Amino acid sequence: MVLSDTLQLTMLMILIMGTMAFYMGWRQSQRENRKFKEEELRLRRYEIDSNSRAATINVENTNEAQEEEKTDLNGYVFMTVDENKKSIFSEMLKGFEDYAKLKGYKASLSIDTSIKGKVGFKFTLHEEGVSVSTQKVKSDINDYINTVMSGGDFDDMPVLITPEEHSAVIGTLKARLKFMEYTHALEQENKEFYQSLISKMANSSVSNQPANINLIQEGIGMDSRSYSANNSANVVQGDDNTNLIENSTVQVGKNVAEINSQLDLLKEALGKIEAESTQNESLKPVVRHLENVKEELEESSTPDSSIIEKWLGKANSAIKTARATTETLSKFQGVLESFGVSF
């Protein structure tokens, strides 16, 4: 009987110890699970915060802005753009939103044109679509701009969205680029029309007939032929004379915008001639003369038309014997016409 009680007590103690061991193991497991979940939650929050911070793309800005213009760039990348081309450049950048859709992600564009001669832009990524890195977006921006500048049509892009949406986005992007081309062509036509009109008006002659002067002869030898006209600019004197006023052959822009327009044409032609001069040594004097014209326009507050006329004349003579290509001659002719000079 005593042995039986002892055996029961021993079994009870073993059961209690087993139960305690199981309970302690369960408690330890619960603590480890809770710790694991807390760590998982912490990592999840870190991931969400990281994605939130990465949503706005701040491409490294390599363009310096003057302190008086802007001390805080706010993540914008600024590029130098002529004032009269800001609108078309901004329109081109807006097209990247469509280009991003073709790449499978969504981006919105912010533009800052507050700095004179510069356009700033910043893209913000959205959660829709595939996840992309900042470097990927910067690479896509460069590819998009290069495709537009080279006249690409985006037809060879892979289909990463539904075929219907891909086709619709391609159509929208092409329509935008067509509108840009039309706007640019219209601006060029208007500029050429007004340049031609101003040139014709400037080169036309104005004939001034002398006013009638009635003098009474008082016996002191005074008549209309001996009339004194000191300090009277362009006055007409003498018998059967007229005053013919003609401007210089070269017409330099009358304001900053017109001079910048002439500079744009000059730089474009100069770049073309410089490139061709590597194969055609005869064009090097043309480059040198046009560089002199460019220097006069850029560095002088009031460009001297006689100096410009001199170097344009030398460039004109040199290029006629240089056997330049038709495209180069066309660019050079455009420069001459902008100054009212015939080729």
pLDDT for position 239: 52
Question: 123-137, 142-156, 217-231 — which one is most confidently predicted on average?
Answer: 142-156
Q: Calculate what percentage of the chain has a pLDDT beyond 90.
A: 4
Tokens 């001199």 sit on residue: 310
**How deeply is 172 buried, as exposed, middle or buried, from its count of CB atoms within 10 A (0-12, 13-18, 19+)?**
middle
pTM score, whole prediction:
0.34
Neighbours of 122 (CB within 10 A): 18
Cβ atoms 105, 176 nearer than 8 A: no
Q: Which residue has the higher pLDDT, 2 or 160?
A: 160
Neighbours of 252 (CB within 10 A): 21
| Mean of all residue pLDDT scores within the chain | 72
Confidence of residue 74 (pLDDT cuts 50, 70, 90): low
Residue 112 backbone dihedrals phi, psi, to 5 degrees = -125, 115
- Asked whether residue 13 carries a pLDDT value surpassing 70, the answer given is yes
Task: Find the length of the chain.
Answer: 343
Q: pLDDT digit string (tens) for 283-337?
A: 999 999 999 998 988 888 888 888 998 999 889 888 888 888 888 888 888 888 8
Q: Which positions ≥6 away from 59 have C-beta within 8 Å? A: 77, 122, 134, 138, 141
pLDDT (mean) for 157-177 = 83
Q: pLDDT digit string (tens) for 14-73?
A: 777 767 777 677 777 777 767 666 666 665 555 544 444 433 444 444 444 443 344 345
Domain boundaries of the chain, sorted by first residue: 77-184, 256-338
